Amino acid sequence: MSSRTLLLTAWYFPIRILHWQDAVKMIYEGTVDVLAEYDEELRSPSVTWQVPAVVRLRRNLTVRKKCVKFSRVNIYQRDNFTCQYCGKQLRWSELSYDHLVPRARGGRTTFLNIVTACRPCNAKKGHLTCDEAGMFPLNLPTQPRHLPLSAPLVPSGQIPAEWEPFLAPYTSSTSQA
């Protein structure tokens, strides 16, 4: 059974990948509309449904976050999936992040001490400071106030056919995975 459901905003922008059980709950609660279904069926004694492949929120998201949550994907997105040492723009799987002040020297894991790095540059810098390694980031790290809304990162070989019409405008975003 297909276990993933693509969630879209009310404006048809992909925002999240859900388990099919969560999508069915949202359908039952009336918070989403079903836009595409898989061939598999869900059966209970009183109802039969197709497994939802793509659902759309009926209302726009109104929750405003006060700050951007620290995460690997938010670091990569802040730095435009670009190594801050060599300047190469790479895929998600080819990136890591680097502490400017190494953790062994008291550096913290925060937006202001972390930059995106490719694996070779990260290995070259190692546990050294920027001065010791002679490697300095192209852009100083910042604490983002907001990040642009981005489509979920899905490896291109794992996109179900039912999702393709909804992800087509964002194929460059999904190729980052």
Q: Looking at the structure, do residues 48 and 17 belong to the same domain, yes or no?
A: yes
Question: What SS3 class is residue 4?
Answer: strand
34-91 pLDDT, tens digit each = 999 999 988 889 888 889 999 999 987 666 666 788 889 889 989 989 999 999 999 8
- Whether 143 is in a domain gets the answer no
Over residues 150-164, the pLDDT tens digits come to 556 666 667 888 888
Q: Do the Cβ atoms of 48 and 75 come closer than 8 Å?
A: no
Q: Are residues 38 and 55 in the same domain?
A: yes
Domain of 8 in residue numbering reads as 4-63+153-174
Percent of the chain clearing pLDDT 70 (strictly above) = 84
Domains contained in the chain, number: 2
pTM: predicted TM-score of the whole model, two decimal places: 0.54
59 & 13 share domain = yes
Question: What's the CATH number where 93 sits?
Answer: 1.10.30.50
Report yes or no on 8 lying in a domain. Answer: yes
Based on the fold, state whether residues 34 and 53 are members of the same structural domain: yes
How far apart, in whole angstroms, are the C-alpha atoms of residue 107 and residue 125? 15
Residues 168 and 117 in one domain: no
pLDDT digits over 75-97, tens only?
998 998 999 999 999 988 899 99
